[in-house]
Amino acid sequence: MVVGAPGGFGRAAVVGTGQMGPGIAMLLAHGGVETVLVSRTATVAEQGLKAARDLLGFWRERDITDDTAVGATLARLTSTSDRATAVRDVDLVVETVVEDLPTKQALFVELEQQCRDDTLLCTNTSGLRVTDVAANLQHPRRAYATHFWNPPHLVPLVEIMLGERSDPAGAERLRALLRACGKRPVVGLKDVPGQLGNRLQHAVIREALAMLEAGIASAEDIEESLKSGPGIRWPVYGPFEHNDMVSLELTRAVQAAVIPSLARNTEPAALLSELIAAGKSGVKSGQGHYSWTPERAAAVRRRRDEFLVERLRAGRREETGR
C-alpha cells in the first residue's frame, strides 16, 4: 500500500479492455493511481491504452482537465498482456470482462492466486452479485463490486457493493479513492442483483415496456414523458426529496391510485423476446423499438455525451466553487 495515495491505493490494474476498461483505467490514473490496463494480447492491450488516451484527449478538448493533469495521467498509464506480472504488486484490481458468472468466478480465483493478500478485488458487474462472483475465493472479505456507469469517463456514479463476506473498511477505502477520481460513489449494504441504479432503471424500463405493450402511448411519447418530466428533475431532485416536498400524504394517495395498475411481471417483457426473435435487436441490427442508421446512432451518442459533459462541468464547478 502506498501511503498518501487516494484511499491508500498507489497501484492498480484494470483487467479487460472492452467498453469499460479504458475509461476506468483513465479515471484511476487521472486520480493519482499508477494504473496498468491488462488484456489477453499485447495488440489488444495497446488498443485499450490508445482508447484511454483518446478519452483523456476528449476531456482536454472540453476543458474538463488541463495540460498538467494530462501529462501526469499519461505518465501513470501503461498496458500489458502479462496479467500475472501486472497484478503481482498492486493494491487494487478492477475486472471488466464479459458479464458471465463462471468467467468472472474463474478470473477471481486466478487473481487471488496472483495478487498480494491485501489486494482488493473488484468486479465491474452491472447485474451479478459480488457474493456469487467471489464464491470460490479463500478470502472473500477483499471482494467488492465497483459498478462504473457507461460511459465511465462521463457518468459520475460508481456503485460499491458489499458482498455477504466483504470487509466494510475496504468499501470506505474505495469510496475515498473514487471521490479523489472525481466520481460520486454510493455504497450498497446488501448484495442484490442490479445494485442500486440498475434496479431503479429497470423498474422504469419494465413499466415503459408494459405501457407500450398495452398500447397506452407510442414509444416516442412514453420517452418524451420521462425526458421532459421526472427525468429532467432527477439529477437534482430525488424520489425521497420529492415525497417530502409534496407531502407523504399526497405520495400515499397517488400510490394508492397508481400502484395497483403498474406492471408486476417477474420475467422480461414478451415484447423484447418478440423483437429479438424477429431479428430486431436494436442498433446493431438496424431495428429495435426504432429504426437505426449508423448516423442516427452516432447522433444519439453525441447528444448523450455532450449533455453529460455539461453535467460533469457543472458538478466540478459546484465542488470547486468556480
Q: What is the pTM of this model?
A: 0.91
**Contact predicate 96/18, CB 8 Å:** yes
φ/ψ (deg, to 5) at 292: -125, 135
CA separation for the pair 156, 148 (Å, rounded): 8
Residue 131 pLDDT grade (very low, low, confident, very high; cuts 50, 70, 90)? very high
CA separation for the pair 126, 145 (Å, rounded): 9
* Per-residue cell: 240: 425521497
- The tens digit of pLDDT for each residue in 161-179 reads 999 999 999 999 999 999 9
194: helix, strand or coil = coil
List the one residue out of 187, 148, 152, 158 whose CA is nearest residue 171.
187
Could you tell me what percent of the chain has a pLDDT over 70? 97
Residue 321 pLDDT grade (very low, low, confident, very high; cuts 50, 70, 90)? low
CA separation for the pair 169, 175 (Å, rounded): 10
- The tens digit of pLDDT for each residue in 25-69 reads 999 999 999 999 999 999 999 999 999 999 999 999 999 999 999
